Amino acid sequence: MLNLLELEQLVAFADCGTLSKAAETLHLSQPTITRTMQHLEEEFGVSLFLRGKNRITFNETGQKAVEQARKLLRDAREAVEQVRTFDQRLHTIAVQSCAPAPLWTLLPVLSREFPERTISSALSEESQIVQGVASGSCQIGVLSHRAEAEGLNCVPFLSEQLFVCIPDNHGLAGCTQVDWETLNGYNCLLRSQIGFWDKLCRRKMPASRFLVQTDEFEFRELIRQSTLLCFTSNLAGDPGELLEHRTVVPITSPEAQVTYHLLFTDPVYRTVAETCRTRG
């Protein structure tokens, strides 16, 4: 029976060119490598080497053996990876979302409903989310629209309304509602890692400039001290005194109102969507 460790030594010999270099690379003695080559010839039942004075090289059959050894080692690595991935899926619920806000409701529900599993999450492009759920690399996807894909369940579960926060001394102060056309040209604060909202704001406000903040403390200080517009939503929770000198105004353009959809293959997650709708 072929031994994977011995096949690794065979491939190392082919890559290094000499038994001594292969032994050094694998941290083995040269006699050990030599015995392995002899044993592999016995296992294959054919001659694999051309033997000369103080040197052996692969014959044509030996080169074929190396080719097959590489394939077997590659298949073995893929088998291990597939088993590990399968086991991880049994114990992990991976979520990919197009925006952060739905995760604030979804992740606590998943943790409560599936306490024995680890919950992981990431922000991704929507096309990647559909591919991820379809391939099984993630169990749940969150989209900003309904997706039609064979074998996938897609159900609405939360709605988000975008608001703009206008400082008291801003040119738009006094507005009770605005649209993208009104906002276009005004500079704004943006938080990093906001998913599809980032591209949407830039697309709808091409004449505006955006100051993107990665640090939460700095972002909050700029909201307090600057006259730049910023955004919030109905899912953001109570900002406390942060928006004390700003007026929160709805953006009436249709694109500022999103119904998120939960994408999944396992019907067990349908109840999660229903729970999130109740909480939302």
Return the pLDDT at 271: 86
> CB of 18 within 8 A of CB of 26?
no
Pairing of strands 140-143, 246-250: unpaired
Which of the two residues, 234 and 88, has the higher pLDDT score? 234
Among positive and negative, which fits the CA dihedral 122, 126, 127, 130?
A: positive
> CB of 100 within 8 A of CB of 231?
no
Secondary structure class of 3 (helix, strand, coil)? coil
Asked whether residue 84 carries a pLDDT value surpassing 70, the answer given is yes
Closest CA to 123 of 160, 98, 94, 158: 98
Using CA atoms, how far apart are residues 132 and 128, in angstroms rounded to an integer?
6
What percentage of the chain exceeds 70 in pLDDT?
A: 99
**Mean pLDDT value across the chain:** 91
Closest CA to 261 of 148, 164, 172, 107: 148
Asked whether residue 179 carries a pLDDT value surpassing 70, the answer given is yes
Return the pLDDT at 273: 83
Query: Tens of pLDDT along 188-218?
Result: 999 999 999 999 999 999 999 999 999 999 9
pLDDT class for 280, splitting at 50, 70, 90? low
